[in-house]
A and B are shown apart, each in its own frame.
Chain A
Amino acid sequence: MPCSYNWLKEYAAGLPSPKAAAEALTMSGTEVESVTETGVSAANVVTAEVLTVVKHPNADKLSLCGVRTDKGTHSIVCGAKNMKPGDKVALAMPGAELPGGIKIKKSRIRGVESEGMMCSEHELGIKDASDGILILPPDTPLGVEIGAILGGRDALLEVSITPNRADLLSIRGVARELSAITGAAFKDKEIRVEETGATIDGLVSVSIAEGAPCGRYCARVIKGAVIGQSPAAVKARLEAAGIRSINNVVDVTNYVMLETGQPLHAFDLAKVGGGRINVRLASDGERLETIDGKARVLDPSMLVIADVNGPVALAGVMGGKASEVSDATKDILLEAAWFVPSSVRKTAKKTGLPSESSYRFERGVDIEGARAAIDMAADMIIRLAGGAVAKGVIDVCKEKQSREPVRFRVKRAESLLGTALTGAACLDIFKRLGMDAKDAGEGVLTATPPSFRVDLNCETDLIEEIARINGYDNIPPHPPVARLVTPEIPGSARFRTRAAAVLAGAGFSEVVNYSFVSRRMLELAGGGEPVEILNPLSDELSVMRQSLAPSLLGNLCYNLQRKNADVRIFEIAPVFQTRPGEKLPEERWKIAGLMHGSRYGEGWNAPGDRVDFYDCKGEVERLLGQLGAASAAFNPKGAPVFLHPGKSASIELNGANAGYIGEAHPGVNARLDLKRPVYIFELDAASIARAASPAHYSAIPRFPESARDIAFVIGESMPYEEIIRAIERLDAKLIERVSVFDVYYGEGIEPGYRSMALRIIYRSAERTLRYEEVEELHGLVGRELTSRFGAVIR
């Protein structure tokens, strides 16, 4: 909220400098985001009227103007085009100095004397750029210093007000706060309304329906006002607050709202049927055209201001089009009310109509402030628009809000803040904040917060006030004393951190992707019905991931477009799956990786090999090994369908599915326009953690091994793992290890077959094996391969 420093000073004349005031606000909890110098600092620039405009005799682009001030007529050469006779302008007289350092003196321009300069808003330092000179309202008096019209030198404090401090949503409120913090005296304005009209009771009536969320409704009537433009100074203050000037009456309601925080509404009294205001909930299907020209269909949750014919305004949110103040309006019904915050909030949300008014009502307007505000507005209207204020105010007060005193224990405050306090100092702070505070003895104070501090209700609220006003800097830090116990980390978190370290060590870089993706990307990896976001930012971010693979594929595409061809990335994040009968979906942490491009990277001494399935599998094996789950089985069946059916596997740990690995399906490559094979794995973190076992020592063999090789031709569809399992089963005690050292297809081998060479390590834990024993066992292996798999030993 922008706050004019000069306006603040109308309430607290003794304020420190704008910068100091801003610092004080910030350090008391109301952050000032910026301080901007504004307004006209020029002297000797006065209001004037253009009488004549003729072309400069010696220059096509210049005009020669006759301009009148209260002192006489001046001849001015001007380059702008937007003025015409009768316009009121800002004339810089000889001797004037403008904000940009320009000094004005009499001069001859192309042979014609110019006795000053008509200024643009840019030249006056009000705006960064402007088109043509400044044209002032037609009723501007002549010969007045421009600073007095546009507001003189000022500073705009951009104040960021936290949602609890409704009382600061006004100039008066901020001034009051500044006074409490800085000690500058606060002085309220004295408003006396001259009531020269008829008695209000004969003109309007107000009723609040039973159960309507309206605590107070004040009304005043002004008859015979003349609708017109507001003076420039009023307009300037509204504009600085981001409010468009409408007409003098509407501007007054906004001006008084900015100054006091009390939203006001002005009705055209002639359009309020029967002059009878009824504050009630809308009936279902009732309609109202709001000031913005939109027809609204109402429902019984919405509070309306109605006349005998139906709703004329959405209470606290927006007025109705039919009863708005227009140029033809003569008589005005002025409203200053107090509506229940949650009701206004709901209606503003439902209708999508957040307004300056609803913003304040939602946060809590001072119920005691309506009367002063309506008087200030009435007084200002007759000064700006003329007319006569009817005698009396209608003030329907449904609930008298009396504030309860709050008990404050000095000891409690000391213990919560961790600093020493005195009752007297606290009492002083409460008083400065406008509370009715007393010492109740025995270290207890009682303080009754003022009506505008809707945020102060309990002891802790008051403790915060003490800390805030004293200043947080004045609470010395003090390290806590705590019991010394070992902290706990969930095993799963520790586990994921280890997985990340292993993968980074293996050359994978970690990516972080949004948890939501587009349906199109989600479907890339299949899966059931996803968790859907009701209000996504876009279709691209509309469903929660069920797999990390689509995101990694997206990262790959992004990097390939940027010529990062060698991609090794991983991500560790949860995926989401709806659970029937449960409110919250299931969240499972996944560890996923992707490999693409060259195996060794680009280097002067690196072979140009590209990664293949076995690189990827090797990384998964390394990872599982490091995590203590080396016993994984790779099942050629059961991998997701977005993988190549012949180059993929599901990963099983202790017989349970724990993830998958494979090359992306050529169809996926085609959809993503990927030219080269991509390898992906995704592991379920909890499944690995469950299967993982801590390292356990097994004795280093004391007796020598006997190694034997065997080579054979075998049908190529027979998985290697089955072959070695069959061999290992032959003698679990004496066959220590089987490994492959050659796989060969091609020349000399019939299609559909492959040649394999295995090395088998025979060893006993108890003795040195005899040559004959080993030969016999090795013969058994050969026979098993032949009989079980139809292998031909070579």
Chain B
Amino acid sequence: MKERLELLAKEAERAIEAAASDKDALLQLKARYLGRKGEFSGFLKELAALPAEDRKAAGEAINQAKTRLEDAIAILIGGIEGRWKEAALAKERLDVTLPGRTMPLGKRHPVMQVMEEIQEVFFGLGFDIAEGPEIELDSYNFEKLNIPKDHPAREMQDTFYVSSDVLLRTHTSPVQIRVMENKRPPVRVIAPGTVFRRDSDVTHSPMFHQVEGFMVDKGVSFANLKAVLADFLRTFFGRDTGVRFRPSFFPFTEPSAEADIRCVLCKGAGCRVCKGSGWLEILGAGMIHPEVFRSVGYDYEEYSGFAFGLGVERIAMLKYGIDDLRLLFENDLRFLKQF
């Protein structure tokens, strides 16, 4: 039986090979050899006649031969059908380079995007977010920040007044006072917001945005200020950004500092944007002034803190390469949709 089985399998293989690209012929071959009344089924009937000990091996040999032939036919038919389908699908081709159908595109304003990115960095450092009113009392905007009336430092910030003691806040620093009056140290707060100065030209807008931040605890130092702000600037502008701190003056901090980053355009060689200095002024900071602590009832001997403020428009302009401040407030959709 074994020889006959092999002979038949060989014959079937040859027949299949010959009919390899003819689906109908292959189906006929399948019926002839493998069908219920096909040639292999004859062998199955013979099994019963074999001695019990040979039956198992013979059965396996028959099944193996059948399976091999079945697979061969299935692969060939699959191939034929596949080619036929490909040909049909090829006729259904789209021009995939035509533009897609979308809903109209909406974008967040670049200043708002940057403001949120800044908040995220500090939120990650565990800074609370706080807000204060845009129309503010003179005492919060100036006096409690160690800027008394008739002090030349008021000239640093030209102010819009609503009445003799109510104004449009010129900075987000009054939020420092509002927070510290209501919360004992330790505090870590970031305060984003809109501020106003009576100044309007190519590089000044009468309204702009700031992010204020401060941290008060026992033992907070200038070295901490440098670490936190340099870390922030490198997170924002890139790990290899050059950062420097130089002394400055703000009435509500002492020592006060200004932080510069290496010019993002010329990398320090000197260009129009950095006015040839190679550095870009990016934020003001300092250790919170003892007078400010006094006005909110914090003990200056026990606690210390740093504060900083940064102009969001300037950072947005640097980040996106915007060369004209006025674009940020014109709200031209051709501009807004770029970010």
When chains A and B are docked, how far (Å) is the Cα of A416 from the Cα of B105?
A: 50
Interface residues of B in 94-114 (CB under 8 A from A): 98-99, 101-109, 111-112
Given the known interface contacts A418-B223, A488-B129, A515-B196, the answer about A559 and B333 at a Cβ–Cβ threshold of 8 Å is: yes
List of B residues within 8 angstroms of A670 by Cβ: none
- A342, A417, A585: the one within 8 Å of B223 (CB): A417
Once the chains bind, are A163 and B247 in contact (CB under 8 Å)? no
When chains A and B are docked, how far (Å) is the Cα of A332 from the Cα of B151?
A: 34
List of B residues within 8 angstroms of A558 by Cβ: 330-332
A460 closest partner in B (C-beta): B254
Once the chains bind, are A534 and B134 in contact (CB under 8 Å)? no
Q: Answer yes or no: B42 CB below 8 A from chain A CBs.
A: no
When chains A and B are docked, how far (Å) is the Cα of A513 from the Cα of B290?
A: 37
List of B residues within 8 angstroms of A492 by Cβ: 131
Once the chains bind, are A564 and B207 in contact (CB under 8 Å)? no
Find the residue from A416, A480, A536, A566 having the highest chain B CB count within 10 A: A480
When chains A and B are docked, how far (Å) is the Cα of A500 from the Cα of B304?
A: 37
- Chain A proximity of B169: nearest CB distance (Å): 11
- Chain A proximity of B326: nearest CB distance (Å): 12
Q: Answer yes or no: B137 CB below 8 A from chain A CBs.
A: yes
- Per-residue A-contact encoding for B143-169, CB less than 8 Å = 1, 0 else: 000000011110110001111011010
- Chain A proximity of B85: nearest CB distance (Å): 28
A578 closest partner in B (C-beta): B162
Q: Answer yes or no: A732 CB below 8 A from chain B CBs.
A: no
List of B residues within 8 angstroms of A490 by Cβ: 129-131
List of A residues within 8 angstroms of B247 by Cβ: 27-29, 464, 467-468, 472
- A478, A500, A509, A587: the one within 8 Å of B336 (CB): A509
A468 closest partner in B (C-beta): B247
18 inter-chain pairs at a CB distance below 8 angstroms, sorted by A residue, are A27-B247, A28-B246, A163-B151, A341-B152, A363-B152, A415-B221, A415-B304, A418-B221, A418-B222, A460-B287, A461-B254, A467-B255, A475-B222, A480-B220, A504-B108, A531-B162, A603-B102, A606-B101
Given contacts A342-B151, A493-B131, 6 further A-B pairs with CB under 8 A are A28-B246, A472-B247, A531-B162, A559-B331, A601-B103, A606-B101
B247 closest partner in A (C-beta): A29
Once the chains bind, are B227 and A477 in contact (CB under 8 Å)? yes
Q: Answer yes or no: B230 CB below 8 A from chain A CBs.
A: yes
- Chain A proximity of B256: nearest CB distance (Å): 7
When chains A and B are docked, how far (Å) is the Cα of A492 from the Cα of B240?
A: 36
List of B residues within 8 angstroms of A574 by Cβ: 134
Interface residues of A in 392-445 (CB under 8 A from B): 415-419
When chains A and B are docked, how far (Å) is the Cα of A516 from the Cα of B137?
A: 18
Number of interface residues of A (CB under 8 A): 96
A611 closest partner in B (C-beta): B104
- B109, B128, B151, B223: the one within 8 Å of A477 (CB): B223
Q: Answer yes or no: B244 CB below 8 A from chain A CBs.
A: yes
- Chain A proximity of B325: nearest CB distance (Å): 12
Q: Answer yes or no: A150 CB below 8 A from chain B CBs.
A: no
When chains A and B are docked, how far (Å) is the Cα of A605 from the Cα of B99?
A: 9
Once the chains bind, are A512 and B248 in contact (CB under 8 Å)? no
When chains A and B are docked, how far (Å) is the Cα of A492 from the Cα of B130?
A: 10
What 5 pairs across the A-B complex have the smallest Cβ distances? Answer: A418-B221, A418-B223, A29-B247, A162-B249, A507-B104
When chains A and B are docked, how far (Å) is the Cα of A508 from the Cα of B337?
A: 10
- Per-residue A-contact encoding for B225-236, CB less than 8 Å = 1, 0 else: 011101100000
List of A residues within 8 angstroms of B331 by Cβ: 511-513, 555, 558-559, 569
Find the residue from B102, B161, B198, B246 having the highest chain A CB count within 10 A: B246
